Structure 1
Amino acid sequence: MGAGAVAVLAAFVVFGGLLAVLAGGYGLRQARRVRRTGVRVEALVKRSPDSTSDESALPRPLLQFVTDDDRVVEVVCPVTPTRQHPLNDGDHVLVLYDPTDPRTVVVHDLGRLGLERAFIGGGTVVVLLSLALLAVVAMSR
């Protein structure tokens, strides 16, 4: 493969890494915004209608709550249940929702932002490795 082809491939990979960083940053920003400006309500945990009897899969349950303007909203829980926090059918959890878009919710004390941080970290690593590859290709010319 020629140096030009490697440079083009590295440029595309840099673009993909930057998209991953932007997606992770957007997710973190949205979660922080909802935590800061969101409305706090109690939500009912409901079993997802497409959940199977296989408990090892731990499907994401639904959260049902009433907004300040008396609308009933039902959204898929943004966090997966764990052994420490199983989110069983009929449980109540505290959520914060965006008043302008009640479908955007953050579960209080369960908001794991690992996926967003993984996107940022992985995208940064990809960008740095691609830039290093571009530097090596440029120095070899």
Structure 2
Amino acid sequence: MKIKLDISNEHYDEIKCALEERGIVIDDTADFVLSETNSFIDHLTVREKEANERIILSVDEIVYIETFGHSVEVQTQETLYQASDRLYRIVRLLDPTKFLRISNSVVIAKDRVQRITPTLSSKFILTMSNGKSVDVTRSYYYIFKEYFGI
């Protein structure tokens, strides 16, 4: 059996060893995920888009995460990565005090918002710390507005 571990660094090695002793393979592409309750991840396993190498990325480096169909992209200050998990699963593992969903397809790091530009159609356009823009859709407009006290 293969499983993916989404747990904190402090418990990762201990749990990994215990599972491997029982014949369970730890694989980041596995369908089954073992995660801690009441704990949020501090890293995310992603692939470099061009080199196709797996990287363990600190969630503190994430500027935003965006999905295009079945493809989930993780944008950092300088690099674009591919995530192997679905956006809704990743969102459940991220600390809600640090990350905010702003549309069905985008999650932002709250501290990486540089500029908030309102539009006439009850939306906001956000300029992130890496210079890229993302939209707060109407469905998430009031959640975003309340969080930032606008």
TM-score by length of 1: 0.25
Larger Rg: 1
Structure number with higher helix proportion: 1
User: With CA pairs under 8 Å and 6+ residues apart, which has the higher RCO, 1 or 2?
Assistant: 1
